[in-house]
Structure 1
């Protein structure tokens, strides 16, 4: 089935509505990231417990991104996004009146159930409706994400610090007003033939959820349950005639290398975004507003770089852009690890460097995947990519939250760290740099071995 042919004006309108929706979604995450210290103090939570404000949200986001990606191969994108935005705004309304940590988590989970449609389908829309412009559009998407992540900390710090963090939910409620534009500008599609493998979806969702719970609880029982669910998922996709995920997708070495590279590098980025606010409060005793200002320059720089990410990818190809981005991520993490304890304005410059890698990683990996996955499998191909990306965020938040519960350690992994008394945070950022280095080594080795494209069939 051929996809609708869009005029330039229609493309611009569609890109605009994607950007607006992404802004709401990303701000929802970054605003609450800055508010984590306040939420922790109000409900008297340990770092590993308050991490579930992000971990729980990202967990459902991760699962939802795969589900919606798969559903997009069968059902119209317009319908899926309409349902998602309604859920997203409903969860925000509940969060606005949350009086307990349990109610807050429930609100975040409902938000994630709906909000997962937005980034998941935002990467599918360019590949489906404007493949000739996908590099440029991926750049705009990445730039929007970076810009919103820059505005988010400022808004979160200003509103959360001046009033109450619950008022941050108001921005997410406003997303409901984009539905008329969404219904008008996203092309109509017919429902494609096919069926949804519900047991397969349940098995993979359970495997992901149980695994993340096992990390935060250090429970062998949950880890065993995750492994059992994953084995059931493997059995299902190998034996069912129309599985939730086509097993052929896992046989493409280049596709899996990009997935793994993105997983490791995104773990480094999400880890930085999670740890910086807690570190800023612990080391510098910064207010919520000041934490937002610490993150703002980096996020805005990433927004500016994202404007050129798509053009660079189209001009030079995604591979060199991705390698450059990983070098930047390694450099930024190492500098932060070395400089913790110096004046915040100096540390902010190091944060700028690591933030700059984010849109380049997103643009290059998404663009590269669309060349490896055939059009008819774009939904599940990018859906699995989004699943692993959001899983990386959830895992990094959970692991580093548990690590921060240690309180302090005696030595830093980085010998050149200036202030040894902050060895805990220095070690964490050194680990983030090692994750990015591992991503670089993996990607370089696989793509050096496999020179010819090998699309999933």
Structure 2
């Protein structure tokens, strides 16, 4: 919901583009750090309890944001809201613990599809609020939704019986947080500070060093925050790589499509004539272009569970990325009319939840019940990192390829960005197929030969 409101927030809080984007960056950073930590604590102390903690912190962040008087206060409360990122891995873990085996796939699929649908509906609802009300109502709506969710969890979600008594690996958590913070900070600020600047290079070097030390430390500590051997298992490893690419494709498209659709709104006539693309849509209308894709995801997520139970989860995972590749290619080739954007979003929006649902099912099936929270949490982190990379690649392309003597992105910039996303999603198809090894074909042995 925050993405369409960023220009309005920049004006009303009298801040710069750099600082207003921290409303998104801060959330992503804290979410990436909090998600595996809360997932691990959920495995130790009870997943329903930590789900309530996650929702409670998110609720406090929403209420605080309603009354924020400066960009600094709003960024602080957005960082607090980042704890809400743990909702999905904790939910997957509860489903794994509570559902009959044959219903786990569909249950995970429903939660995964809600993730995609919520993103699409959030963009639409945010547009309506920005166009007609104060931006503060974004956080009012968020607080109400999270508050209702917390109450429903208390009454309807049982505490998971699967727990792992252990101590929190504080040194491992600090090393992981420092490495991830350095990486995401470098990725989000690369365009602003310059990719070759000393600060960005230092952050990337620090990130690599901290994550290497973290991995080595986790292999030696008796009770690690994350079991590195678990992450190295073939299904988990290739699912996380697929998640990284899926986040890249999804986040890039969600950011680029509204920008494309709203151009050339707000430009002087002399510049608008130079643009030659876009529909001049309002924030609300641009969000509506994304809505059919979100609704398609609500159907495809549970369907992935059904297909996965019958054929194996790697197939719907690969199919989802193939659909995403086709949808992004459609954006690159056909974008002259709004219906073409809507059609591409239906294909893309149906594919991404397909992949997310199957991916989560692969992971919960590949780890011990006591590892479900942290394993799915790490998968969420990979999707977040992929999303940050996708957003930054898209922004860099739009900044580099502009209409002559202006800072307005050229049509070719969008074509390039969508094409890169389509190619990346196609690569993810083959990565998903590597989740489980191909079974060797047994030589057919006639019965008579076997008897002899």
Same fold (TM over 0.5): yes
Provide the rounded CA distance (Å) in 1 between the counterparts of 2:249 and 2:375.
23
Deviation at 1:421, TM superposition (A): 4.4
Q: After superposition, what is the alpha-carbon deviation per residue over 1:133-154, rounded to whole angstroms, capped at 9, x for unaligned?
A: 1111012112322332332222
The aligned counterpart of 2:94 is 125
2:315 corresponds to 1:320: yes
Provide the rounded CA distance (Å) in 2 between the counterparts of 1:241 and 1:164.
52
Check conservation: 1:409, 1:423, Cα contact below 8 A: no
Deviation at 1:42, TM superposition (A): 4.5
Q: After superposition, what is the alpha-carbon deviation per residue over 1:166-200, rounded to whole angstroms, capped at 9, x for unaligned?
A: 21101221122443332232223576421010110
Provide the rounded CA distance (Å) in 2 between the counterparts of 1:144 and 1:257.
23
Counterparts of 1:120-269 in structure 2, within 5 Å, are 120-132=89-101, 133-174=103-144, 175-188=146-159, 192-215=164-187, 216-217=189-190, 218=195, 219-269=200-250
Deviation at 1:118, TM superposition (A): 1.3
Pick aligned residue for 1:57 from 9, 27, 37: 27
Deviation at 1:226, TM superposition (A): 0.9
Deviation at 1:386, TM superposition (A): 1.6
Provide the rounded CA distance (Å) in 1 between the counterparts of 2:18 and 2:237.
31
Counterparts of 1:435-454 in structure 2, within 5 Å, are 435-445=424-434, 447-448=436-437
Pick aligned residue for 1:295 from 290, 297, 300: 290
Cα separation, partners in 2 of 1:240 and 1:313, compared to 1, 3 Å = same
Higher CA-based Rg: 2
Provide the rounded CA distance (Å) in 2 between the counterparts of 1:214 and 1:330.
27
Provide the rounded CA distance (Å) in 2 between the counterparts of 1:428 and 1:261.
19
The aligned counterpart of 1:392 is 386
Unaligned 5+ runs, structure 2: 264-277, 442-452
Provide the rounded CA distance (Å) in 2 between the counterparts of 1:251 and 1:95.
40
Provide the rounded CA distance (Å) in 2 between the counterparts of 1:371 and 1:344.
41
Check conservation: 2:317, 2:358, Cα contact below 8 A: yes
1:32 match: secondary structure: coil
Aligned length: 411
Check conservation: 1:81, 1:118, Cα contact below 8 A: yes
Pick aligned residue for 2:257 from 276, 285, 301: 276
Deviation at 1:71, TM superposition (A): 1.2
Provide the rounded CA distance (Å) in 2 between the counterparts of 1:51 and 1:398.
12
Provide the rounded CA distance (Å) in 2 between the counterparts of 1:398 and 1:87.
28
Cα separation, partners in 2 of 1:48 and 1:269, compared to 1, 3 Å = farther
Unaligned 5+ runs, structure 1: 1-30, 411-419, 453-457
Provide the rounded CA distance (Å) in 1 between the counterparts of 2:354 and 2:208.
33
